[in-house]
Structure 1
Amino acid sequence: MKRRQYPVAGFHHTAASEWAGGTPVTDADHALSVSAVPSSAPSLSPAPAIPRVLLAEESLPYRRVIREALMAFRLCEVDDAPSGERAFELALQREYSLFLFSLPLPDMAGDMLDRLLGKAYPLVHKGVHTTPPVVFLIQPGDAMKFQELQRNVRVRGSIPLPPKLDVLLSVTASLLPEREGGLAFPPSFPPPPLSPPPPSAHVS
């Protein structure tokens, strides 16, 4: 006897399995059992993901200052790495909205790291066709090199080292959303000193 097959939810049920238990299952019963399976509930729209920043800088104090400042004033999460190799590994594991790479890294130049990720990043992440924009952290001697890097449309600016809060927030203003209810932006200049109180009257 030729064995019948019924495709149900990606599986094949044969007539032999239908006869298990001694009672044959008719085509009508089979159709009823399939139609009785509830359809999956409509999926809710996922909440927008919080932007994630990848920071590559050798100095631990600099990484800490930049990470804490970004997370205090910008709506974002920050992953930091002390080397180009570690940053490369992280970039292949997660999707990012922004790269912050120091030009001088202990194992490779920051622009070399960015070029490598420019080729590998879209190949690893499904549905991603472009590599995130990049901001370079530069030393005073890197100014000439950075001018050449600015020809790349993905390069969105530079931040001098040691990092300055006003420059960091200015460069990232158009790249990361502002955190609502975050800390107040510090003034560019210190407020003028308060006038000294008038001398108290001296009773002789």
Structure 2
Amino acid sequence: MKFSLDEYAISSDPSKEPMWVNSDTKRKLFQNVCKAFEKIKGTIESENELTIKERRIIARRVAIDSGVDPSLLSIRRQPEINNLIIEKNLELDELWNIISATKYTYGKKLTKAELHKKNIIQATEIERLTNLRLAEALTRSIESQIIDSHKNLIAQIDNLKAEKAELQDRNSRLTIQLRQMMSSLNNIRN
């Protein structure tokens, strides 16, 4: 009897949709995530050098391929799709690590041109990741400032409303007092 891993491997059917796929938009997004996964998986298995961006599923690309606005793929709006993308990216990272570990290098040293090219690619990737982190930090900073100014404006509005109510009450009391004085003045004249 021959031993085969195929007998023991559990293959997942990519066309089977989960329970949370209950609309056409989610169906398109789900199918495009699966297509992107299969495409990137094939690229990882066939090519040697890929950047992180090339070996990951990017939500913006999935949204554009699905014909929906990229803002629809926020974690708040589509948590299932975001979790699926994270899960598939973890699988792709694991596949990349496995394939990278199994590649045999022949002990050949890289030429100066190859080292320079590799250095440029890595420097570009580092710069891109640095820019992403700076953008995230800047966004968080701006959001916190906006929240603080929003809280200050709410407090100021509340103070102004209280002051307005107090002035309206004072105005009504003065109006009543003026009417009483006018009526007493009219009584004195008569």
- Which range, TM-score by smaller chain? under 0.3
Larger radius of gyration: 2
Structure 2-normalised TM-score? 0.21
User: Which structure shows the bigger proportion of residues in strand conformation?
Assistant: 1
Q: Which has the higher contact order (CA 8 A, sep 6+)?
A: 1
Structure 1-normalised TM-score? 0.20
